[in-house]
Amino acid sequence: MARRSVAVVVGVLIFLGLAPLLLEPTSGTAVAVAASGVVPCIFLPPTRSSSGGGQSTEKNPRVCTPTPTITPTNTLTATPTNTPVPPTNTPTDTPTNTPVPPTNTPTATPTNTPTPAQQSISVMNSGGFVARFSVAYDLPGAPGQSQSSGDISTGTTSALTLPGTATNVLVTVEAQTGFGFLTACTRSYSQAISVTIVVSGTNLSPSCSGG
């Protein structure tokens, strides 16, 4: 009974982790031996056994109880799950090419207005003196134009040519009196015109006809 009690006590000590303990084995006493890396054992009281020759042998049996080994628990590590990311490609609006209506404004074709023909003013001297005449007129953008015939002998005719665009035409005919020139007559026209004026009379009393 005592042997069984000692074995139970030693087993409890080993289970509770009170190793390392080292007790030398003694006769009649249960001993527990434990060391780092050594399986703990219980030495039971010695026993005798008889052999066939009449000799007895003393044995000290030993019971070894392996220390329970704690098996490490493999903790499962969560494997990250690759969650597929949905594509975020936002469709781009395709620009619409709006046709631009043509803006070609038709250009007015200039109309070629025919230029009025030139006109001629003539003075014929039928008097007994030297005559002369002058013409004043305006042109588009150039007013105040004038021309002069010079001396016209008795029985001759002199003429001046005017542009067809001439306006405000004024003709002045003069006769030489011996003391200077005396105005024989004047003629006025709104635009250029072809006419013939006849001057006659004496140097002191000239006159005109025609035109």
136, 143, 142, 198: which is closest to 171 by C-alpha? 136
The mean pLDDT value for 40-65 works out to: 60
Residue 10 lies in a domain: yes
Residue 71 lies in a domain: no
133, 132, 192: which is closest to 162 by C-alpha? 192
Containing domain of residue 203, as a range?
A: 119-209
Instruction: Report residue 113 as tokens.
Output: 């207005």
pLDDT tens-place string over residues 151-163: 999 999 999 999 9
Residue 131 lies in a domain: yes
Q: Is the pLDDT of residue 164 over 90?
A: yes
pLDDT tens-place string over residues 89-115: 666 666 677 777 767 777 777 677 788
Beta partners for residue 142, in sequence order:
139
Q: How many domains does the chain have?
A: 2
Q: Percent of the chain scored above 90 by pLDDT? A: 44
19 vs 78, higher pLDDT: 78
pLDDT of residue 107: 76
Residues 128 and 195 in one domain: yes
Look up the CATH number of the domain holding residue 175. 2.60.40.1430
pLDDT of residue 95: 63
The mean pLDDT value for 16-22 works out to: 48
141, 126, 135: which is closest to 172 by C-alpha? 135
Domain boundary among 64, 84, 109: 64
Lowest mean pLDDT among 36-45, 99-108, 174-183: 36-45
pLDDT band (50, 70, 90) for residue 31: very low
The mean pLDDT value for 120-141 works out to: 97
pLDDT band (50, 70, 90) for residue 46: low
pLDDT of residue 60: 61
76 vs 139, higher pLDDT: 139
